[in-house]
Structure 1
Amino acid sequence: MNCKEHYLPELELPTVHVRESLQAILCTILFIRSPGPVSPRDVECEGFDLTYPRIASSSNSSVVAPSLDYDVDKKVDESIQSFLMTLSQIGPELLSGSLTLSFFERRKTQQLFGLVSNEERVVWEQWHLRVVVNNTPRPVSDDSAAVIERQRIQDTAEGMLRSVLTKIYEIAGSSIDHVPPVMYEFEISCSKKVDDRENVYSRVTNMPNLININF
């Protein structure tokens, strides 16, 4: 089975919005890829004017494999915490990291004339998301310039999150021929791999001023 890979738009978020944004993204994907009937729960973001679907908790059911006692919310929260712990510095006040949400099924194979049974995990879909975390302090005063800047930061972050959620729904509405007709599981992994673009970005942002212009 070939693995279908989806690359979501890159996010740049102020620190205060990172956790909630990742919860919205991961829970939305898990909801639309749930293989069995689940109860939806609409969640209103505290930091944004956005609502996203989440799988309602139930002691009698699981998101992807009824035989496994998965606490989905706990797994999402733990993965976000791990992501925050693995961020890499790419600028004076910028950190970067990547999340990958993988769906897989377990398959048993027989070897040595059926005497040995092995189990393998077959990944059939992955969702990739790169996040830049901006630790620049937000203005806290009440003057008009500070109010405008806080609103600009808020609107920019909300627009980026909205674009990612829109992309998720676009992908969800495309072909699902690769989705297996059996129950499956998921895992969320974190990476702090620095690509060439990040290296260039880091060098530029850390470059000393060559020209000082005084007015």
Structure 2
Amino acid sequence: MLNVEEFVCPELQLAPCHIKEAVRTLLHTIVVVRSIGGQRPVEPSPVSSEVLDLTYMRTDESEVEEELELRVQQFAELFEKDLANAGRAQLVCSFYTTKSRKQSIWNMLVGGDERIVFEQWRLPVIVQPMRRYPNPADNLKEEANVQTATSQQVQQALHFVIGKANAKVDHLPPPPQAQATYKFDVHFASMDGRSLGGLASSCGSATGSGPPPA
């Protein structure tokens, strides 16, 4: 895509039990840092993770929050149902604006407004199952070590997101007026960019509707 600012987050190597929480913290943070419009300022709430040793920000717009939680659940299911490519997949969040299409027979058939993507975030995830030992005490130690390592990985990725979002703002269009957050789509892809089945989807009424951009 032309004229799209693209950010690829540091690759996350996660145990299956940490995929949902790790992606949740990053996706919510990405949306919060691009919530700069609307009739009132967004008041994101700091949330302490129930799984990882970190705090992150969540939007106070309930419809957006529900939509993000749905996408997080669907992304985790890619790995649970073994739909990811060899335990590897990307969550892709694309921010876009819309403009009316020129009148033509083709556009009458296509319908709707044209989407113009201006920013895209990619979260690459690789599943790394935890090692298991005959001794329960060793298993507990392994779980604690993995949790600590995962918290550090995600914290570094959060710093990446916040740093890039603050440093790269010249490409942003004027803030939206109807809602705080720019319109966005969330879909899933393999590491080489191919779409992963029917789980690719877009956000609801608060953020726009329709299939994800190609």
Question: Structure 1 residue 118: deviation in Å?
Answer: 6.2
Matches within 5 A, 1:110-149: 110-111=102-103, 119-136=113-130, 138=132, 141-143=135-137, 145-149=138-142
Whether the aligned pair in 2 keeps the contact of 1:28 and 1:54 (CA below 8 Å) is yes
2:202 match: none
- Residue 46 in structure 1 maps to residue 47 in structure 2: no
Q: Distance in 2 between matches of 1:158 and 1:24?
A: 11
1:191 match: 189
Q: Distance in 2 between matches of 1:89 and 1:137?
A: 21
Question: Structure 1 residue 141: deviation in Å?
Answer: 4.6
Q: What TM-score results when the alignment is normalised by the length of structure 1? A: 0.73
Q: Deviations over 1:55-97 (max 9, x none)?
A: 1145xxxxxxxxxxxx11221122122223334252xxxx111
Whether the aligned pair in 1 keeps the contact of 2:131 and 2:142 (CA below 8 Å) is no
Q: How many residues align?
A: 176
Q: Distance in 1 between matches of 2:118 and 2:144?
A: 41
In structure 2, the residue corresponding to 1:38 is in which secondary structure? Answer: coil
2:89 match: 97
1:30 match: 31
**Residue 89 and residue 162 in structure 1: after superposition, are their counterparts in 2 closer, same or farther (change >3 A)?**
same
Whether the aligned pair in 2 keeps the contact of 1:86 and 1:192 (CA below 8 Å) is no
Q: Distance in 2 between matches of 1:27 and 1:17?
A: 16
Q: What TM-score results when the alignment is normalised by the length of structure 2? A: 0.73
2:70 match: 78
1:106 match: 98
**Structure 1 unpaired stretches of 5+:** 59-70, 196-215
Whether the aligned pair in 2 keeps the contact of 1:42 and 1:51 (CA below 8 Å) is yes
Q: Distance in 1 between matches of 2:134 and 2:96?
A: 46
**Residue 9 and residue 74 in structure 1: after superposition, are their counterparts in 2 closer, same or farther (change >3 A)?**
same
Identity %: 30
Q: CA RMSD of the aligned region, Å? A: 2.5
Question: Structure 1 residue 168: deviation in Å?
Answer: 0.6
Question: Structure 1 residue 138: deviation in Å?
Answer: 4.7
Whether the aligned pair in 1 keeps the contact of 2:96 and 2:117 (CA below 8 Å) is yes
**Structure 2 unpaired stretches of 5+:** 177-181, 194-214
Whether the aligned pair in 2 keeps the contact of 1:107 and 1:120 (CA below 8 Å) is yes
